[in-house]
Amino acid sequence: MKRCGNKPLARFAFLAAITLGSWCCTAAAQSSAPGPFAQDQVDSGRKTFAENCAECHNKDLSGGSAPALAGKAFAGRWENKTTAELYKFIQTTMPLCQGGILGNSAYAEIVAFLLWANGAQPGTADFDGNTGVTIGTIVTGTVRPDLAKSK
């Protein structure tokens, strides 16, 4: 069994499934307020995600060896949490066994991309990881159809 430090990968996968998945989910409310991120962060985040996350989560965020990061299950899991909580979770745990190696701006860009991928609209200010907007107020749970396209 592949190990992460002294923790089995299976244990991590189980915890990640509990954290990111949900057996019974509801879609997040339709969004009209802009998200706490800018379009340029989405564009950079798509590239950063492809380079660092897509191997496990797939380029279209559908999941693979790791949970899906787009759609109703993701939106339902995170709808009552904030953008700052999502940032902190990703920043401290990803990439697997290497949390924190990408740098703060890269993690902020990835969060912007994930929020956008789940229907949130970009705003005008850059996201820095500290802004705590409730995710259910900005995402729709509808996966953008052009997720897998290269940019």
CA atoms of 125 and 106, how far apart (whole Å): 16
Task: Residue 39: name the closest of 144, 98, 109 by CA.
Answer: 109
CB 113 within 8 A of CB 53: no
> pLDDT tens digit string along 121-148?
999 999 999 999 999 999 998 999 887 6
4 located within any domain: no
CA 50 remoteness from chain centre:
12
- Has residue 133 been placed in a domain? yes
Residue 11 lies in a domain: no
- Residue 17 inside a domain? The answer is no
Q: What's the mean pLDDT in 49-71? A: 95
Of 19 and 44, the one with more pLDDT:
44
**CATH number, residue 48:** 1.10.760.10
Whole-number Å distance between alpha carbons of 136 and 104: 23
**pTM greater than the 0.85 cutoff:** no
Residue 115 has pLDDT above 60, yes or no: yes
pLDDT of residue 32: 63
As for how many domains the chain has, the answer is 1
Residue closest to 137 by CA, chosen among 35, 42, 69: 35
Any idea which of 15-29, 65-79, 88-102, 136-150 has the lowest mean pLDDT? 15-29
Q: Are 83 and 135 in contact (CB under 8 A)?
A: yes
- Residue 60 resides in a domain: yes
Does residue 23 sit within a domain? no
Question: Is residue 15 included in any domain, yes or no?
Answer: no
Segments forming the whole domain that contains residue 95: 31-137
Residues 1-22: tens digit of each pLDDT: 344 555 554 444 434 444 444 3
With a cut of 50, say whether residue 84 has pLDDT above it: yes
Judged against a pLDDT cut of 50, whether residue 89 lies above it is answered with yes
Whether the predicted pLDDT of 30 surpasses 70? no
